[in-house]
């Protein structure tokens, strides 16, 4: 690691930094000016999951609560953002989650035995991690 960084590698790195900076600026503009940010995230969470979750992380608590069913559904399947969805659920007020979880759990659990097992494992993890 004592060799100088290759110019090509440095250029690639700088491109990532610039792109991330542009994303953060665009996200701030979106959060400040969107008329229906929750609706946008709700719609995008299935097809543009990573970006939707990155924006959801910046929502106000009440806005995030409106996405509970979406986050529970994401947390019910194993994919790259499962833990991210669980972490967002854990930011919600404990009592609110406990009083609202049943509204969504039934629908998720009716999707079949594999989904039930995954969801119950996820919920067990959430309870342990978040003291729910």
Residue 80 within any structural domain of the chain? yes
Residue 100 within any structural domain of the chain? yes
Q: Please give the structure tokens belonging to residue 64.
A: 């995030």
- Judge whether residue 35 has pLDDT over 90: yes
Q: Please give the structure tokens belonging to residue 52.
A: 């939707």
Residue 118 within any structural domain of the chain? yes
- DSSP result, the chain: --SPPPHHHHHHHHHHHHHHHHHHHHHHHHHHH-S-HHHHHHHHTTTSHHHHHHHHTTS-HHHHHTTHHHHHHHHTS-STTHHHHHHHHHTS-HHHHHHHHHHHHHHHHTT-HHHHHHHHHHHHHHHHHHT-
Residue 41 within any structural domain of the chain? no
Residue 119 within any structural domain of the chain? yes
Q: What is the pLDDT of residues 42-99, one digit of tens each?
A: 999 989 999 999 999 999 999 999 999 899 888 776 666 778 888 898 899 888 887 8
Q: Please give the structure tokens belonging to residue 9.
A: 């590698």
CB under 8 Å to 7, separation ≥6 — which residues? none
Number of domains in the chain: 1
CB under 8 Å to 84, separation ≥6 — which residues? 53
Residue 65 within any structural domain of the chain? yes
Residue 120 within any structural domain of the chain? yes
Q: What is the pLDDT of residues 106-120, one digit of tens each?
A: 776 666 655 555 666
Domain extent at residue 80: 60-130
């Amino acid at each position: 690691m004592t060799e100088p960084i290759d110019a090509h590698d440095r250029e690639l790195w700088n491109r990532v930094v610039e792109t991330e900076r542009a994303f953060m600026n665009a996200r701030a503009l979106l959060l400040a000016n969107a008329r229906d940010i929750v609706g946008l995230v709700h719609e995008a969470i299935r097809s543009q999951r990573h970006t939707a979750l990155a924006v959801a992380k910046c929502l106000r608590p009440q806005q995030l609560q409106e996405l509970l069913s979406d986050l529970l559904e994401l947390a019910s399947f194993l994919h790259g953002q499962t833990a991210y969805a669980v972490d967002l659920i854990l930011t919600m007020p404990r009592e609110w989650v406990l009083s609202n979880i049943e509204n969504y759990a039934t629908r998720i659990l009716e999707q079949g035995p594999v989904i039930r097992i995954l969801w119950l494992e996820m919920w067990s993890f959430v309870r342990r991690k978040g003291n729910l």
